[in-house]
Amino acid sequence: MAKFPTSSEESVTVSAPIESVYAFLWDVVGSSPCIPGIDHCLSVGADTYEFLYKPRSTGPVSMVVRYTARYQGNGRDKIQFQGIAAADDNTDVDGILSMKKKGSGTSLTLKQTLAPDTPVPRLLQSLIRSFVEAETAQAVRDYLSNVRKTLEKA
């Protein structure tokens, strides 16, 4: 299997106080429905969560992303997460959610690196790389949009 590390950084402004944004995101299981394609997120230990996505396929390539990540927050404006390579994981993940007060709202930025094991022969890796990169960037944008919509409804 081939790993395709992709990095994305996107931002969105949320019409909610920074304290509300932080509290929502720190509830990892509760905020996980905002993640595009998620099947479930479970707490598996202290500040540690298992993420399982719905199966994805394009052409002859099909996969299910699974990773376990440990979260660390500062209680104010930063939440970091990093994969811990648990049994059955097939994706490396590392990222940070950063928040800044912006007027009466909050600027929220997600910077993430994701590296799924992709069942693609070496000859096809260069062809599929751009697809994986585009999908990852779109997923980050969709996640932030979903967070914004959820918090602005509250």
Question: Which pLDDT value is given to residue 118?
Answer: 74
Question: Which pLDDT value is given to residue 132?
Answer: 74
Question: Which pLDDT value is given to residue 129?
Answer: 72
> How many domains are contained in the chain?
1
The full DSSP string for 115-132 is EEEE---HHHHHHHHHHH
Q: Which residues pair with 79 in a beta bridge?
A: 73, 97
CATH number, domain of 67, equals: 3.30.530.20
Task: Dump pLDDT digits (tens) for 91-118.
Answer: 999 999 999 999 999 999 999 998 888 7
pLDDT beneath 70, residues of the chain: 1-2, 58-62, 120-128
Cα(57)–Cα(60) distance, rounded to whole angstroms?
Answer: 7
Which pTM value belongs to this model?
Answer: 0.91
Containing structural domain, residue 36? 2-153
DSSP structural state of residue 105: E
- DSSP helix/strand/coil, 90: coil
Cα(40)–Cα(30) distance, rounded to whole angstroms?
Answer: 11
